[in-house]
A and B are shown apart, each in its own frame.
Chain A
Amino acid sequence: MRSFGTDLPDPCSLALADRVHRSAFTDPRIFDIEMERIYGRLWIYVAHESEIAEPGCYKTTRIGTQPVIVSRTGRGELRVMLNACRHRATTVCQSERGKARHFICPYHGWAYDLEGNLVGVPGRQNQSRNFRESELGLVRLPKVASFRGFIFASFNTAIEPLEDYLGAARQYLDYFVDLAPEGEIEFARAPNKYQYPGNWKQQIENALDGYHPAITHASFFKIVQERMGDPTAPVMQRFGYEASSPTQCRYLGNGHSLLDLRQVDRSQMLGRGVPPGDEQEFRARLKQRLGEEKAGELLSFRGGDGFNLLVYPNLILINVQIRVVFPIAPGRTEVHAYPTLLKGAPDPVNTARIRAHEDFYGPASLGAPDDMEMFARQWDGLQASSMEWLSYERGLDSEVQQGEQRVGQFTDETAHRGMWARWRELMAGEGGRP
């Protein structure tokens, strides 16, 4: 059996073309390197503009394991800064979201404005001669940018522009947002939150895993059959989940990946109905903005219902939902799942989106709890240290290169292999390094 002893493991030896070593999930030293070389260097999704819509609004979140505040300044600019007082590191903001003029540390009272500037120090006269407020603002992330309302930040001053980083993923973010008649989505006020005993990469693999639905979600598909009034309806075939389905799995580059279901008509599958009049109104409004052809294309797969998108490493778009992944420890992960609303859509369309989210993604839903169950059992199995390697070879002989992208059948592991190749690059310090 391999043992790393006290030496740092070589991450590149852990992810090969067709297999991954269990320690890539379990080793705390690997986790620490990930926090530095992945979460510390890439563009990381932090918030949606609708969560901090007005000047003075803020949201607290984490980049990797580091607590941050995302704020909109009085001038409407976006700022992302560490949620840690420059005095003794106490978090200066506790609320998940809100509106404020200052963040005041509750320990010794240091006060910061929405830009992170230190603007107040109690008993200022006793500080040393060298004390400079101007040097003691909250630590600001040097890079902040937003694309279609999705705000990203990076610690890496040398990182490529956000649009280049997103690359081929942009098209799918566009699809997701363009389904809104006003061309903007907004998040519901709060997400489902869940934690599982397991590694963050289990969640992102799961979101790009077209092989598991038939088995993990078997009981869900029985419900779908019941809803269709036909307990023998060939739902797996009809909705694109079979190994022979025309649906695809696609590695987009830069770690970003896609499960693509647009090749099949899934309109009968998900959610509860929208009254016909509201649906017509929705379609009319969309056509008005986008024109017949573009609107028709979007409506044919209903935006995000047509695909699962991973924006590496922590943002997932599925159906109506945005899922954000927070690594806590090698064996502890938190996930926030937000339903999204379409601006300009009739209210019943958005209510149907909320209901669709609850149907599959919440803690009492028909879908996500079975995934969580698999994560927990997978984590148990990953403790089998005598079994070193996990299999990633499905579709290896049949996937094809299409330009910069690699395409396999829906149930293949093409996206997983792409993500692990990217992981290997990043963990070696290539790509994304300043």
Chain B
Amino acid sequence: MSQPAMEADIDLHEVSEFLYREAALLEEGRLEDWVKLFTPDGLYWVPSNSFDIDPERELSIAYDNVDRLRERVSRLRSGSFWAQDPPSRTTRMVGNVRITARTEDGCEVESRFIAVELRRGATQVLSGKALHELRRVDGQWRMKKKIVHLIQNNEPIGNLTFLV
């Protein structure tokens, strides 16, 4: 096997590990730690209604900078967030991980996920494609962008106040 391919294998393993860890933080409700995975200029984006929208003129389910993400966490901890009382329980599978582009200090990663949410006796299956734009900062992977394309983003969605 050629040298570049070997490097690619190593990166893929490392990047996959990062995605699994990210999913675990969300699953375990360790949201303060999850927010720390973003770079200071990070973006968490869940488009609404279709995959290809202009977020300046069209609707997103979430279009959050890091300040906004911190607000979400603060709210989840407020004790009066009824839509998460009781909280959602989720389990998440991440797979089909591919590195789609490499940059000087990072890479772009495409993956698929299935998240099952259980709350008030009802389960909701959320699934789709995640696009991560990763940067290596001080030897650690950080998310510059996480974009989540839910396959059901044009269907009636009840409560997405937990994070996908």
Chain A contacts to B: CB under 8 angstroms: 188-196, 216, 218-220, 222-223, 226-227, 334, 339, 341, 347, 350-351, 354-355, 357-358, 362-364, 366, 369-370, 372-374, 376
- With A190-B48, A226-B71, A364-B62 given, is the CB distance from A351 to B154 under 8 Å? no
A362 touching B59, Cβ below 8 Å = yes
Give the docked Cα–Cα distance between A358 and B55 (Å). 11
12 new A-B pairs (CB below 8 Å) besides A194-B157, A218-B80, A347-B57?
A188-B59, A189-B49, A189-B58, A192-B59, A226-B71, A226-B74, A354-B56, A362-B61, A364-B160, A364-B161, A366-B71, A369-B160
**B140-164 CB contacts (< 8 Å) to partner A:** 154-161, 163
B125 at the A/B interface (Cβ < 8 Å)? no
Q: Is B20 an interface residue (CB 8 A)?
A: no
A-B interface, 5 closest residue pairs, ranked by CB to CB distance from nearest: A190-B49, A369-B83, A218-B80, A195-B156, A364-B160
B103 interfacial by beta-carbon distance below 8 Å: no
Which residues of chain A are within 8 angstroms of B62 by Cβ–Cβ distance?
358, 362, 364
Whether B53 is near chain A, meaning CB under 8 Å from some CB there, is: yes
The dominant DSSP class at the A interface is helix
Are B57 and A188 in touch, CB under 8 angstroms?
Answer: yes
CA A351 to CA B163, docked complex, whole Å: 23
CA distance A226 to B77 in the complex (A): 14
CA distance A341 to B57 in the complex (A): 8
Cα A370 to Cα B161 with chains together (Å):
9
Expressed in whole angstroms, the Cα–Cα distance for A90 and B53 within the complex equals 32
A339 near B59 with CB under 8 A, answer yes
Bound Cα distance A195, B158 (Å): 6
Chain B: CB-nearest residue to A369? B83
> With a CB–CB cut-off of 8 A, which chain B residues contact A351?
56-57
In the complex, chain A residues whose CB is within 8 Å of the CB of B158: 194-196, 363, 369, 372
Which of A347, A354, A370 interacts with B81 by CB under 8 Å? A370
Whether the Cβ atoms of A222 and B78 lie closer than 8 Å is yes
**Is B50's beta carbon under 8 Å from chain A?**
yes
Decide if B71 touches A223 in the complex (CB within 8 Å).
yes
| B59 contacts A366, C-beta separation under 8 Å | no
Contact B82 A188 (CB under 8 A): no
Residue of A nearest to B59 (CB): A188
Known: A193-B154, A372-B158. A354 touches B58 (CB 8 A): yes
CB contacts (< 8 Å) of B71 on chain A: these are: 223, 226-227, 366
Q: Which of B57, B59, B75, B82 contacts A222 (CB 8 A)?
A: B75
Taking CB atoms, residues of chain A closer than 8 Å to B83 are 369-370, 372-373
Distance in Å: Cβ of B9 to nearest Cβ of chain A: 36
- Does residue B131 face the partner (Cβ distance < 8 Å to A)? no
Q: For residue A189, which residues in chain B have a CB less than 8 angstroms away from its CB?
A: 49, 53, 57-59
User: Complex formed: what's the CA distance from A189 to B54 in Å?
Assistant: 10
Report which residue of A220, A226, A358 has the largest number of chain B beta carbons within 10 angstroms of its beta carbon. Answer: A358
Q: Please determine whether A216 and B82 come into contact, CB atoms closer than 8 angstroms.
A: yes
Q: Are A193 and B56 in contact (CB under 8 A)?
A: no
In the complex the two chains form, is A334's CB within 8 Å of B159's CB?
Answer: no
Query: Given A193-B155, A216-B82 in contact, is the A364-B57 Cβ separation under 8 Å?
Result: no
Shortest distance between the CB of B83 and any CB in chain A (Å): 4
Given contacts A188-B57, A223-B75, A350-B57, contact A363 B157 (CB under 8 A): yes
CB-nearest residue of chain B relative to A380? B120
B60 touches A358 (CB 8 A): yes
- Does B46 interact with chain A (Cβ within 8 Å)? yes
Shortest Cβ distance from residue B84 to the other chain A in the assembled complex, whole angstroms: 8
Complex interface: chain B residues within 8 A of A369 (CB): 83, 158-161
Given A219-B78, A358-B63, A364-B62, does the pair A372, B159 have CB atoms closer than 8 Å? yes
Minimum CB–CB distance from B49 to chain A (whole Å) comes to 4
Also in contact, A376 and B120, with CB within 8 A (given A194-B157, A226-B74, A362-B48): yes
Closest chain-B Cβ to A383's Cβ sits at a distance in Å of 14
Residue with the greatest number of chain A CB neighbours at <10 A, chosen from B59, B60, B79, B159 = B59
Closest CB-CB distance, A329 to chain B, in whole Å? Answer: 14
B61 to chain A, nearest CB (A): 5
Smallest beta-carbon distance B81→chain A, Å: 4
Rounded to whole Å, the gap between the CB of A368 and the closest CB of chain B is 9
